[in-house]
Amino acid sequence: MSGKILIEIKDIAREYQIGSETIHALSSVTLNIHKGEFVALMGPSGSGKSTLMNILGCLDTPSRGEYILNGINVSDMSEDELAEVRNKEIGFVFQTFNLLPKSTALENVALPLIYAGYNKAKREEKATGALESVGLGHRMDHRPNELSGGQRQRVAVARALINDPSIILADEPTGNLDTKTSIEIMGLLEEIHSKGNTIILVTHEEDIALHAHRIVRMRDGLIENDYPNADIKSVSPRLSALNEKGSDFENI
């Protein structure tokens, strides 16, 4: 595996107390992700993938174990410290876009730069460049309700890239999109990955996961298996068939 270890999770667990019952959302999960990887995180409802995603995104902390992100131990950080790490290290792309409805595309993309301390001129310069990089230079003054679903997700991708984060965490980024637009967004993520960005994709869709180079599957709070995409054919006949149809995606 080339590249340094960017994410190192050591024997983490996450438990929730609901009344007298203890819910074990994660149980002894260990995972390394290297700089420049494109990883898909999959699993059925209740598998623990959403809990793991929240911990990876510094939206939650483990009950025990260690999480090292880009050399920083974030396992026991305060809310304020986690917020600072999120702003500097992680770019989020959500299924529901999470755009401010009354703000323009430019203003939405520039928002993280306010917290990073950039002045207005620099914010607009960087946000303009980010929107141009996702093919939306001509839609900068449009609000979300004036954009298609695919365009809104492109705005979200541009916002995720704005602070040059260590990782892009994409949570079901095609969940609200039609097939054609989903392919376009995955093509965009592949292009971003080709430039050296590390991407973690959370999805329940097999064909979307196949765009990643590695698939980590979870079940019952544990990692069930972890395969490079080249090895997926030996794991599942359905995945094998989908993988062989990869050229179809390129022609759409």
Supply the pLDDT for residue 68.
Answer: 95
Q: What is the pLDDT of residue 249?
A: 33
Q: Output the pLDDT for position 45.
A: 86
pLDDT 10s digit of each residue in the chain, 252 long?
557 999 999 999 999 888 888 888 999 999 999 999 999 999 988 899 989 999 999 999 999 999 999 999 998 889 999 998 998 899 999 988 999 999 999 999 999 998 888 999 999 999 999 999 999 999 999 999 999 999 999 999 999 999 989 899 999 999 889 999 999 999 999 999 998 899 999 998 888 998 999 999 999 999 999 988 764 444 444 444 444 444 333 332
- The label of the residue with tokens 């929107």 reads 131
> What is the value of pTM for the model shown?
0.84
Give the per-residue pLDDT at 246: 43
Q: Which domains does the chain have, with CATH numbers?
A: 36-62+78-250 (3.40.50.300)
pLDDT at position 243, please? 44
Nearest to 30 by CA among 229, 216, 232: 216
Q: Give pLDDT, residue 19.
A: 87
